[in-house]
Structure 1
């Protein structure tokens, strides 16, 4: 019964949440906090299910049920009495062992349409982290935002050749709404005529998405360069003239 379970914990804990399917015992939260976390890890849809039942007191995990092991494990010395007690309660242990089906697979069916099969196409943008003149080192950012699920592949190309050196990724960043964002940064030295391509593959797209970025001399920049070149030649001529006189 619940009284025997509670006796396995320190006297400061007056109640303890039970496993999925057990009665819920009210827990006063003014002085302490007890958490129970049920985790379902799926592989190959629902063919392989790994269930974890974690019991936490004030941020310290005490006991963990692991379906791969089939019994409760003491994570800390404080949880050892409870783990030993729960492992002797055969009915509760059998319910925990069955949670992979009764808890995980059933909840998977409810969440499948809204979460598991959800698709977010995302948006790809390419931009320099900081505007720099040509021939100067710069950082080109390829941003992919709002995609779901979190499986995506991003590659960077310069003039059709894939770049692997100098590529840094932030890794997946959750947006908090089941979608993700990712940024891949490439160190570049932009030259006139160079074309950089961000190549992204994602399950929600029927074909890869490629976004190009390039920085070319504008007509104004060309005129300024010519004017500065002539001005430099004129100054050099005056210097030589001054030295000769």
Structure 2
């Protein structure tokens, strides 16, 4: 089955214990978007990943086959052939490695699948800009009543690279600052929470400073 320059392989005859062959599906670069073929209570997944270094200077293609949430065989372009991950995968690896056309197709996927799609998706990703939405909210500490926690929520931005700082009277606070990882929203945007734990003094002013490629000027709240 050929999809976007990359083929999804049906189970070899030796794996007839699975029952029917998997249904139609699509090969994708995103590992979070698997293609699943269901038969009864069993699930067969195909995941195709592309890894890029310095643009397309070095490309690695990884094709993984997963049965009931356990990977049993994979193809790695750095290796050049299929490798079994467990006993179930040995018949599949042996069979596919014996097929010159299949190996040729998989070895070519760094160009026909990875580099081909890189040109398409990179143009979209490099041009896309979404400005962050910034909100500040206080959260009082239950264990330390004299200590306040200030949370700066930076939401719905793209791309993921962002810099968020807490300033106290115009000076950056580096201690007692905790940040989450930049988290995906699932719609090509991201969010991050940065919390400052402090004991405020009379006259203190706290601001959240956000720098992002989508902004002409930093946002300070």
Per the TM superposition, whether the score is higher than 0.5 is: yes
Structure having the higher helix fraction is 1
Q: Which residue of 1 aligns with 2:17?
A: 11
TM-score of the superposed pair, with normalisation by structure 2: 0.79
Q: Does 1:36 align with 2:46?
A: yes
- Contact in 2 for aligned 1:115/1:178 (Cα 8 Å): no
Q: Which residue of 1 aligns with 2:97?
A: 87
Structure having the higher strand fraction is 2
Q: Which residue of 1 aligns with 2:56?
A: 46
Identify if the C-alpha distance between structure 1 residues 19 and 81 changes in structure 2 by more than 3 Å, giving closer, same or farther: farther
Q: CA deviation at 1:116?
A: 4.5
Identify if the C-alpha distance between structure 1 residues 116 and 57 changes in structure 2 by more than 3 Å, giving closer, same or farther: farther
- Contact in 1 for aligned 2:19/2:39 (Cα 8 Å): no
- Superposed CA RMSD in Å reads 2.8
Correspondence 1:120-131 to 2 at 5 A: 120-130=130-140
Distance 1:172 1:85 in 2: 42
TM-score of the superposed pair, with normalisation by structure 1: 0.72
User: How many residue pairs align between the two structures?
Assistant: 201
Instruction: Provide structure 2 residue ranges, at least 5 long, that are not aligned to the other structure.
Output: 1-9, 28-36
Distance 1:61 1:116 in 2: 33
Instruction: Provide structure 1 residue ranges, at least 5 long, that are not aligned to the other structure.
Output: 21-26, 212-245
Q: CA deviation at 1:169?
A: 1.1
- Contact in 1 for aligned 2:147/2:198 (Cα 8 Å): yes
Distance 1:89 1:116 in 2: 39
Q: CA deviation at 1:10?
A: 5.6
Q: CA deviation at 1:113?
A: 4.0
**Matched position secondary structure for 1:171:** coil
Distance 1:10 1:172 in 2: 44
Distance 2:16 2:39 in 1: 16
Of residues 147-156 and 39-48 in structure 1, the stretch that sits farther from structure 2 once superposed is 39-48
